[in-house]
Amino acid sequence: MSQNNNKRAKRILLHILLILLSVLFIFPFLWMFMGAFKNDVEVIKMPPTLLPSKFSFDNFRTISKLFPVGRFLLNSVFVAFSSTILQLLFCAMAAYVFAKIKFTGREVLFTLFLITMMVPRQLTMITLYRIFVNLHLQNSYLGLILPSTYNALGIFLMRQHIRTIPDSFAEAATVDGASHFKIFFKLILPLCKPALATVGILGFMESWNSFLWPLIITSSTELATLPLGLSKLQGRWTTAWNLLMAGNVISTIPILMVYLFAQKYFIKSLAHSGIKG
């Protein structure tokens, strides 16, 4: 009886700890959301208050008047979805090769792919920019999209998942005369929904929040993404925090929608990603 009580007490303590951690992680987002509905005086009032005295959408209206937020939002949606779709395709195809096709040097080449994750993106920016300038892709949608289509982590996660698919499936398809392309698109991809969701979420978040590369490769306001647009809300000497929080709310909502849509696949993929390392 005492053993059951000990287990129950440990479970209760664990749930209390998880609740406290959840509050700790959620509070900044809640503060940002509430700050989006405060005026410029109330948002910096001391002592601070969580709830605004009056919920108002004036901050969102002010942002839409100061900047073409709709254009920034459309650019971010187009660039993020385009780069995510291409990244899913390329990562899945590369992962299929590394997981199911045997060739000399496969493990060495895959290791080299993984090593690239240790190289900070900032170190490759100058070289990448010169390549895109030579290709006349600066200040274009292709210039914004193409660098995000390669993701070594995405290839790793997809490979780990594809390795869990029995080889007998592909062998049976090969006996029936199916090519590698047919096996990949008809057999492998439908079985990779959890991994695709995980890579898709990570790729979408990375592209959506990207700031440095769009800042370097574009110079036109018409091509500016939402992070670039939001940076204009932060002044050199002072910052309108209520407007900045309202802009961050606009930027955060699409990411939350994508995650909520694919969260069950995301969790399922992470549960399988360590199998057959």
Model confidence over 99-121: pLDDT tens digits? 888 888 888 988 888 888 888 88
Q: Is the pLDDT of residue 277 over 50?
A: no
Three-state SS at 120: coil
Q: Is the pLDDT of residue 273 over 60?
A: no
Measure the CA–CA gap between 257 and 253, rounded to whole angstroms. 6
Cα–Cα separations (whole angstroms), residue 58 to 39, 49, 240, 248: 8, 19, 13, 15
DSSP 253-268: HHHHHHHHHHHHHHHH
Q: Which of 123, 128, 162, 161 is nearest to 146 (CA)?
A: 128
Domain 58-272 has CATH 3.90.930.60: no
pLDDT tens digits along 188-200 = 888 888 888 888 8
Q: What is the mean pLDDT of the chain?
A: 84
Where do the domains of the chain lie? 58-272
Name every residue whose Cβ is closer than 8 Å to that of residue 256 and which is 6 or more positions away in sequence.
none
What is the structure's pLDDT at 272? 56
Measure the CA–CA gap between 195 and 133, rounded to whole angstroms. 34
pLDDT-derived band of residue 91, with 50, 70 and 90 as boundaries? Answer: very high
- Locate 275 and state its tokens: 């199998």
Q: Which amino acid is at 136?
A: H
pLDDT tens digits along 47-65 = 878 888 888 888 888 888 8
Cα–Cα separations (whole angstroms), residue 131 to 49, 136, 229, 246: 50, 9, 26, 37
Measure the CA–CA gap between 190 and 180, rounded to whole angstroms. 15
Q: Is the pLDDT of residue 239 over 80?
A: no
Q: What's this model's pTM, rounded to 2 decimal places?
A: 0.80
What is the structure's pLDDT at 189? 87
Q: Is the pLDDT of residue 167 over 90?
A: no
Confirm if 52 and 41 have CB atoms less than 8 A apart.
Answer: no
What is the structure's pLDDT at 79? 93
